[in-house]
């Protein structure tokens, strides 16, 4: 797989996480600033997570997920992100 293929696969994985975070925040009726306050981060960081930036601090992402009642699951397989 070439560099373009790897970049495309990475973008798909990150966008899945981004969509899940935004959908859950909206489901809970929270604004990005409210999530940020509860997670101890900035509204800009929550926005960055929701827009699918590929490189983020994992500890801060986990804080945001915790506030939203979500978790990150690592399972053997194809390396896909699930939102179970």
10-residue averages of pLDDT along the chain (84 residues): 66 87 96 98 97 92 96 75 59
Is there a domain that residue 72 lies in? Answer: no
pLDDT of residue 73: 85
pLDDT of residue 13: 78
Is there a domain that residue 82 lies in? Answer: no
Is there a domain that residue 77 lies in? Answer: no
pLDDT of residue 79: 58
Is there a domain that residue 75 lies in? Answer: no
Is there a domain that residue 76 lies in? Answer: no
Q: What is the CATH number of the domain that holds 21?
A: 1.10.260.40
Would you state the structure tokens that stand for residue 65, as one six-digit string?
């997920």
pTM: 0.77
Of 20, 10, 78, the C-alpha closest to 49 is 20
Measured CA to CA, the distance from residue 67 to residue 37 in angstroms comes to: 10
Question: Per the structure, how many domains does the chain have?
Answer: 1
pLDDT of residue 80: 60
By residue range, what is the domain housing residue 55? 3-67
Is there a domain that residue 73 lies in? Answer: no
Measured CA to CA, the distance from residue 84 to residue 71 in angstroms comes to: 9
């Amino acid at each position: 797989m070439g560099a373009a293929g790897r970049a495309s696969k990475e973008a798909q994985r990150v966008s899945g996480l981004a969509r899940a975070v935004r959908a859950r925040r909206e489901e809970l009726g929270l604004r990005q600033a409210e999530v940020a306050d509860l997670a101890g981060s900035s509204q800009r960081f929550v926005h960055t997570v929701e827009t699918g930036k590929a490189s983020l601090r994992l500890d801060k992402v986990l804080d945001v997920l915790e506030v939203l009642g979500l978790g990150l699951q690592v399972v053997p397989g194809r390396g896909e992100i699930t939102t179970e």
